[in-house]
C-alpha cells in the first residue's frame, strides 16, 4: 500500500525494474458492448481515457495489479486484454491512494477511471466482463476488437500519426452491426426478434449498418472544429483543430484526415490526408488505399484547392488548384506549355518539369493549376496565380 507520493514513486520503480515488465505503447480500460445473442462477440470498446506513449506509472500499476490478481501477464506478446476484477481494482486503489483526493477534472485521469469503477453500485447491471484493461506492447496487426479500438482512439485523438499504425486485419476483428445511435446491435439478434419487435412497435430506428462507429460517439473535438453531420466522420479519422466538415458529399474515413484547418465538402478516403489551409470542394474525391491508388496513400498539400467534383488519385503539393470536374490519377497525361514549364521550374528548382508529364510526376511540385482544355479535353498544367485562403471566420 502506498501512503505517500514518495511511496508511489518507489513502488513504480520497483515494478519497472522487474524482468517481466515492459512499457506499453498504448493502454487503457474500456467498457465493452457484447453481442446480444453471442456474448463472446465484442461489438464496441469505449475508452474514457486512452494512454499513448505516456503515463507509464499508471501502466505499471495496472500491469502489476493484474499479476497480483492472478492474471498471466506476458509482455513479450504484442498485446494483452484482461478482465477488470475486484482484486485488480483493489490493488490499483492501494497504490493510487496518495492521488485519489486530487483526481478530479484534468488531473490523474487513470486514477479517476479506477475510482469510478470501484464505486459502481452493485445493482448497476455491469459485471467484470463488461470492462477490459488493454495493452499494446508492439505495433503489430491487432488481434482483438479491443486493440483495434485502442488504435482508432490513438488516431482520432491525434496521439498517433495518420498512417503511423499497423491496422492490418482490423476489419476482420470488428463485427458488422446495426447501430442505434452509439449502441451496436447484433444483426442475428434483430433477425431472431424481428417479428416480436415489429408487432410490439419496438423495432429500433437503425442509424446505419457498419463495423465502425461514428467519430463523435467517442471523441470530443476541438472547440473550433465543426462536424455538421455526425455520420460524415468515421471513428479512426483524425481532424486537426479548425477543420469544418460540411453535410452532403463530405466524408472522412478511418486513418484519414486533416493536418490543420481545412474545409471539407468532399471525400477524404482511407489513408488520405489534407494539409492545413486547404479546401476539399463539394463532391471532390480523394482516393484511398482500398481502391484507385495502387495502395499508395494520397497526400494533399497545404493551401491547395480541390474543385467541386474533382478526383485525385495521386499526391498534390502545396499551393495547387485542381479545377472542378478534373481527374488526376497517377498515369494521367498532362501537357504544359513552354511558359508553364519555365514558371513552375522557377518555384520548383529541384524538380524535373517537362512539357509532357504524368499525374504521379507532380508529387512535390508546388504551385500547379490543373485544368482541362474545354475544346480538346486535354488535361493541362500551368503556374497557379491564385492564392488559396480559407475564410478565417469559418475556421
What amino acid positions are annotated as catalytic residues?
265
- How do strand 177-180 and strand 267-268 relate by DSSP bridges? unpaired
Question: Running DSSP on this structure, what letter comes out for residue 221?
Answer: P
CA-nearest of 321, 287, 285 to 304 is 321
Long-range contacts of 167-173 (CB under 8 A, 24+ apart): 167/141, 167/142, 167/254, 167/255, 168/141, 169/141, 169/142, 170/141, 170/142, 171/211, 173/142, 173/143, 173/144, 173/145, 173/147, 173/148
How far apart (Å, rounded) are the C-alpha atoms in residues 366 and 351? Answer: 10
Dist. CA 77–CA 152, nearest whole Å: 20
What's the full length of the chain, in residues?
A: 395
Phi-psi region of 67 (alpha: psi -120 to 50; beta: other; left: phi over 0): alpha
> Which residues have CB under 8 Å from 100's CB, separation 6+?
93, 111, 115
Q: Which of 252, 276, 227, 285 is nearest to 388 (CA)?
A: 276
Distance, in Å, from the CA atom of 259 to the CA atom of 262, rounded to the nearest integer, reads: 8
Please enumerate in sequence order all residues whose Cβ is within 8 A of that of 259, keeping only pairs 6 or more positions apart, or say none: 162, 240, 273, 274, 275, 276
The answer to whether 326 and 313 have CB atoms below 8 angstroms apart is no
Amino acid at each position: 500500500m502506498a501512503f505517500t507520493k514518495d511511496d508511489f514513486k518507489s513502488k513504480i520503480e520497483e515494478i519497472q525494474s522487474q524482468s517481466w515488465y515492459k512499457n506499453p505503447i498504448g493502454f487503457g480500460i474500456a467498457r465493452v458492448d457484447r453481442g446480444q445473442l453471442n456474448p463472446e462477440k465484442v461489438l464496441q470498446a469505449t475508452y474514457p481515457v486512452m494512454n499513448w506513449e505516456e503515463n507509464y506509472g499508471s501502466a505499471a500499476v495496472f500491469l502489476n495489479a493484474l499479476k497480483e490478481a492472478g492474471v498471466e501477464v506476458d509482455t513479450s506478446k504484442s498485446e494483452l486484454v484482461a478482465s477488470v476484477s475486484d482484486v485488480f481494482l483493489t490493488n490499483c486503489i492501494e497504490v493510487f491512494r496518495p492521488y485519489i483526493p486530487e483526481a478530479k477534472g484534468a488531473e490523474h485521469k487513470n486514477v479517476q477511471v479506477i475510482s469510478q469503477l470501484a464505486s459502481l453500485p452493485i445493482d448497476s447491471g455491469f459485471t467484470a466482463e463488461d470492462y477490459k484493461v488493454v495493452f499494446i506492447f508492439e505495433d503489430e496487426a491487432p488481434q482483438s476488437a479491443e486493440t483495434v479500438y485502442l488504435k482508432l482512439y490513438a488516431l482520432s485523438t491525434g496521439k498517433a500519426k495518420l498512417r503511423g499504425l499497423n491496422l492490418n486485419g482490423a476489419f476482420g476483428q470488428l463485427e458488422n452491426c446495426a447501430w442505434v445511435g452509439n449502441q451496436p446491435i447484433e444483426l442475428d439478434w434483430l433477425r431472431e426478434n424481428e417479428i416480436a419487435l415489429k408487432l410490439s412497435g419496438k423495432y429500433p430506428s437503425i442509424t446505419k449498418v457498419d463495423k465502425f462507429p461514428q467519430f463523435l460517439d467517442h471523441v470530443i473535438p476541438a472547440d473550433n472544429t465543426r462536424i455538421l453531420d455526425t455520420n460524415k466522420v468515421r471513428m479512426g479519422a483524425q481532424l486537426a483543430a479548425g477543420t469544418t466538415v460540411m453535410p452532403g458529399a463530405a466524408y472522412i474515413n478511418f486513418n484519414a484526415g486533416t493536418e490543420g484547418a481545412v474545409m471539407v465538402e468532399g471525400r477524404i478516403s482511407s489513408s488520405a490526408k489534407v494539409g492545413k489551409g486547404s479546401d476539399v470542394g463539394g463532391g471532390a474525391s480523394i482516393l484511398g488505399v482500398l481502391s484507385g491508388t495502387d495502395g499508395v496513400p494520397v497526400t494533399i498539400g497545404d493551401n491547395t484547392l480541390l474543385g467541386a467534383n474533382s478526383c485525385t488519385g495521386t499526391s498534390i503539393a502545396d499551393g495547387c488548384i485542381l479545377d472542378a470536374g478534373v481527374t488526376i490519377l497517377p498515369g494521367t497525361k498532362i501537357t504544359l506549355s513552354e511558359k508553364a514549364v519555365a514558371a513552375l521550374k522557377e518555384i520548383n528548382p529541384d524538380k524535373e518539369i517537362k512539357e509532357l508529364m504524368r499525374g504521379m510526376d507532380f508529387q512535390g511540385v508546388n504551385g500547379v493549376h490543373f485544368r482541362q482544355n474545354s475544346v480538346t479535353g486535354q488535361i493541362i498544367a500551368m503556374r497557379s496565380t491564385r492564392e488559396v485562403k480559407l475564410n478565417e471566420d469559418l475556421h
